[in-house]
Structure 1
Amino acid sequence: MDIHNYKRRLERTLENIKNSKDISDNNKKTILKFHDSCFADGISVCKIERYLYDLARFSQMLNKDFENVEKDDLLKVAGEIEKKEWSPNSKQTFKVMMKKFYKWLEGNGESYPEKIKWLKTNLKNNHKKLPDELINEEEIEKLIRFSNNIRDRTFISLLYETGCRIGELGSLTIKDISFDEFGAKLIVSGKTGARIVRIVNSAPYIQEWINNHPFNKNQNSYIWIKKNGESISYARLSSIIKKTAKRAGITKRIHPHLFRHSRASYLANYITESQMKNYLGWTQSSKMAGIYVHLNDTDNAILRMNGLKKDEEKQEQKLKPKTCIRCKTINETTNRFCKLCGFILDADTSKEILQKESERNQMDDILNEVMKDKDVLELLSQKIKEKKLINK
């Protein structure tokens, strides 16, 4: 499933290139040939769309035919890219496109020409998220509480716990989910192929949503659907997150990939670098997991050195499901009462109810004492008689 609608986006990009007055006819022909070559090489529609989108901008920045470009022209473009207020990933993607394009155009697809070989495409590591930019568990709980329905609660809970890319979750079907005594397992397909993702905290939510899913008898039905049964697009899923954050009063910039960053930072406290790569769908050669693990290792080492943290110390899991002590039903972390038997699940709710019961009992005691007073009884009797006369 293509929740990003890349196929339609590619069609629009091609239309824009063909109709552009800022791209020469020669460059248009070259871009279309590159488009065909990318498909022949088995490159994904997602990447091809991005290559062509950036190639169109590249052509406009050069303002000359690709075949006539020299190293100085490429140096100038690279400098312009660095000056732009693009994200580090966008800058890197653009440079990767430049090198790949000239490798195809002048290097016969085998080697980089001298004019472009010098261009570095490594992503700089000086744009890492600070802790206050990430989403913490208290904020995840707020997002769940302020969700409009069980579908949205489930999606937000899963997006955080799994750390999945939104495209991986967006293409889930009912048959991709299996439950066991510990929670559930998801089969997701991502950049590194299919993998199994264990969930615990989100299991009660996904169980309830599947039970209420309008097409739950169809194992091939997508998990995230609209009322009419159509699958939900990336734009819609992203909008759900942002609108929920606004209702919850969360002011930091919330976007789908931030959940992945935040979860990776949390998991680095508990699992190894290799385990993180498997769980989050990174290749074993990827350096992403190491960044999170090494940052946490350094912080923990400094705290232990100063006697502020013990090796066995663990963070409290605030999103852990609640098990009813009466009927043993596993409930969502945001539930205050058991969804099966109605028993109180958390101490705060228990305290609140006991307080109200105590207040009622105190009022009953006061009324009982008052009713022992003959004068009060006589006055009350008189008032009742007057009330009856008025009603007549």
Structure 2
Amino acid sequence: MNNKTAGELLISEITGYISELVPIHVHEVKSRLSQIVVKYHVTKPESDEVHPDLLENIKLFLASKRLEGFSKNSLDSYTLDLSKFAENIKKPTVEINSADIRVYLSQFPHLKMSSVSKKLSVLKSFFGWLTAEEILLRDPTAKLKPPKQEKRMPKALSIEELEMLREACKSVRQRAFVEVMYATGCRLSEVSALNISDINFQSMSFKVFGKGSKEREVYLSFKACHHLKRYLASRTDEDQALFVTERKPYRRLSNRGIQREIKLIAQNAGIKKNVSPHVLRHTFATLTLNNGADIVAVQHLLGHSDPSTTQGYAVLSDEKKREQHKKYLVM
């Protein structure tokens, strides 16, 4: 449909709507509207096209989140989810309702409830922002509740499994991975973004930027410092990244690269669990809490803004439960 036809259709629809409300001279109104519309570029999207209004609002939302300091990973995730939503809905933003969103989310039966919940969370953030900015009068996601999820116990390694992982390392780089990720409880993205200059070996610590670009200090153990120094001494490259690829051209090791190494170490160790960098983060939290660490301190070390998130890691071992029972039971 060309611009002229789209403009004429718009004028006809507006004139028809006005004529239903009040008596008008149709030809005069059409003539006046034509003088106004000619100043603009009017197009009518095809029914199978993503609506430009929705795309523009997504663009504005992402720009706002970028200014708020959202990480690149978060922005990429939001962009992907919202783009898929726009491709599926194909409506102007103001016409999207709760039913549209329910139908959209029901199209992912193969996904876990946690993944569907994440998609809904992104849409709630998007439409909530549009409503707060008064681009929309009402939020179509306001009454939508996230799906119930199974409560799963954190998949932390036992002390024995942690030692098995250490002994299965076949290179100084692999051992450095394990020790740094376990000792600090850092997220995968936080470790992969580290540079050599970030490490303060004197204080055995370094600073990372977590979710929402929040800075926090984390600490290395003596064991982690020792194996990290061994790894750095073995390198012949001049790359600034803390962890780099094994082969030339040397470059910063990606998130996927670190995940692959941890999985390989776990396979070599014969550990049946699905071991990942996040499992090492779980292990740090669970073992330190079981060893008597203050939950508020662990919350700050993990970079959790909500204490209830840290509470999910506080799973006591049977031995620890017996110990606490004997210690605190009033006889």
Task: Establish whether TM, by shorter chain, passes 0.5.
Answer: yes
User: Could you tell me which residue of structure 2 aligns to residue 268 of structure 1?
Assistant: 289
1:41-66 CA deviation, whole Å, 9 max, x = no partner? 44333222111211122234435443
> How far 1:160 moved relative to its partner?
1.7
Q: 1:289 is matched by which residue type in structure 2?
A: T
Q: Is the contact between residue 183 and residue 219 of structure 2 (CA under 8 Å) also seen in structure 1? A: no
Q: Does 1:233 align with 2:254?
A: yes
Distance 1:109 1:244 in 2: 52
Q: Is the contact between residue 207 and residue 215 of structure 2 (CA under 8 Å) also seen in structure 1? A: no
The correspondence of residues 95-244 of structure 1 with structure 2, limited to 5 A, is: 95-108=120-133, 113-120=138-145, 126-129=150-153, 133-180=155-202, 184-191=204-211, 192-215=214-237, 221-226=240-245, 227-228=247-248, 229-244=250-265
Q: How many residues align?
A: 276
User: Could you tell me which residue of structure 1 aligns to residue 80 of structure 2?
Assistant: 53
* Correspondence for 1:282 among 304, 317, 322: 304
CA distance 1:267–1:25, shift in 2 (3 Å): same
Q: 2:140 aligns to what SS in structure 1? A: helix
Task: Name the TM-score, length of structure 2 as normaliser.
Answer: 0.70
Q: 1:239 is matched by which residue type in structure 2?
A: R
User: Could you tell me which residue of structure 1 aligns to residue 116 of structure 2?
Assistant: 91
Distance 1:301 1:136 in 2: 16
User: Could you tell me which residue of structure 2 aligns to residue 3 of structure 1?
Assistant: none
* Correspondence for 1:31 among 58, 80, 83: 58
Residue segments in structure 1 that go unaligned for 5+ positions in a row:
1-20, 312-392
Q: 1:201 is matched by which residue type in structure 2?
A: K
1:65-89 CA deviation, whole Å, 9 max, x = no partner? 43311232234345556x442351x
Distance 2:204 2:50 in 1: 52
Q: Does 1:254 align with 2:275?
A: yes
Q: 1:179 aligns to what SS in structure 2? A: coil
Distance 1:249 1:45 in 2: 35
Task: Name the TM-score, length of structure 1 as normaliser.
Answer: 0.61
Distance 1:267 1:148 in 2: 27
Distance 1:225 1:280 in 2: 24
Q: Is the contact between residue 103 and residue 111 of structure 1 (CA under 8 Å) also seen in structure 2? A: no
Q: Is the contact between residue 59 and residue 65 of structure 1 (CA under 8 Å) also seen in structure 2? A: no
1:199-230 CA deviation, whole Å, 9 max, x = no partner? 23322211212222325xx7x82221124331
> How far 1:237 moved relative to its partner?
1.0
Q: Is the contact between residue 99 and residue 112 of structure 1 (CA under 8 Å) also seen in structure 2? A: no
Distance 1:297 1:253 in 2: 20
Q: 2:144 is matched by which residue type in structure 1?
A: L
> How far 1:275 moved relative to its partner?
0.8
User: Could you tell me which residue of structure 2 aligns to residue 12 of structure 1?
Assistant: none
Q: Is the contact between residue 241 and residue 256 of structure 1 (CA under 8 Å) also seen in structure 2? A: yes
Q: 2:156 is matched by which residue type in structure 1?
A: L
Q: Is the contact between residue 136 and residue 262 of structure 1 (CA under 8 Å) also seen in structure 2? A: yes
CA distance 1:251–1:195, shift in 2 (3 Å): same
Larger RCO of the pair (alpha carbons < 8 Å, separation 6+): 2
CA distance 1:111–1:261, shift in 2 (3 Å): farther
Q: 2:180 aligns to what SS in structure 1? A: helix
1:119-156 CA deviation, whole Å, 9 max, x = no partner? 345x96743335xx432233333333333310111111
* Correspondence for 2:95 among 52, 64, 68: 68
Q: 1:115 aligns to what SS in structure 2? A: coil
Q: 1:172 aligns to what SS in structure 2? A: coil
Distance 1:297 1:135 in 2: 12
Q: 1:222 aligns to what SS in structure 2? A: coil
Distance 1:259 1:87 in 2: 24
1:328-369 CA deviation, whole Å, 9 max, x = no partner? xxxxxxxxxxxxxxxxxxxxxxxxxxxxxxxxxxxxxxxxxx
* Identical positions, percent: 21
Distance 1:119 1:67 in 2: 17
Q: 2:293 aligns to what SS in structure 1? A: coil
Distance 2:137 2:91 in 1: 20
Distance 1:206 1:247 in 2: 21
RMSD: 3.2
Distance 1:265 1:205 in 2: 23
Residue segments in structure 2 that go unaligned for 5+ positions in a row:
1-47
Q: 2:81 aligns to what SS in structure 1? A: helix
